[in-house]
């Protein structure tokens, strides 16, 4: 959900729906900035990958 837009075009968004949207792109997307969002995405993807380890 977009909360606002700065004069330079940057968007202020609500993080949770945005993270879900990013996850929908799977391996086709990489968050490079901001660092906090990148770390959040890394943690979510690691947790998801753990669910599939050892699955047959």
pLDDT digits (tens, 9 = 90+) for 3-51: 777 788 777 766 788 888 998 998 899 999 989 999 999 998 998 899 8
Alpha-carbon distance values, 46 to 1, 49, 51, 53 (Å): 25, 5, 9, 11
Return the SS3 of 25: coil
Give the pLDDT score at 56.
Answer: 64
Structure pTM?
0.66
Classify residue 26 by its DSSP letter: G
Give the pLDDT score at 5.
Answer: 79
Q: Where are the domains of the chain?
A: 2-52
Give the pLDDT score at 55.
Answer: 65
As a whole number of angstroms, the distance between CA 17 and CA 14 comes to 7
């Amino acid at each position: 959900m977009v909360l606002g837009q700065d004069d330079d075009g940057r968007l202020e968004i609500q993080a949770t729906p945005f993270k879900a949207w990013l996850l929908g792109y799977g391996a086709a997307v990489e968050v490079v900035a901001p660092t906090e969002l990148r770390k959040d995405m890394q943690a979510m993807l690691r947790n998801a990958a753990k669910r599939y380890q050892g699955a047959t």
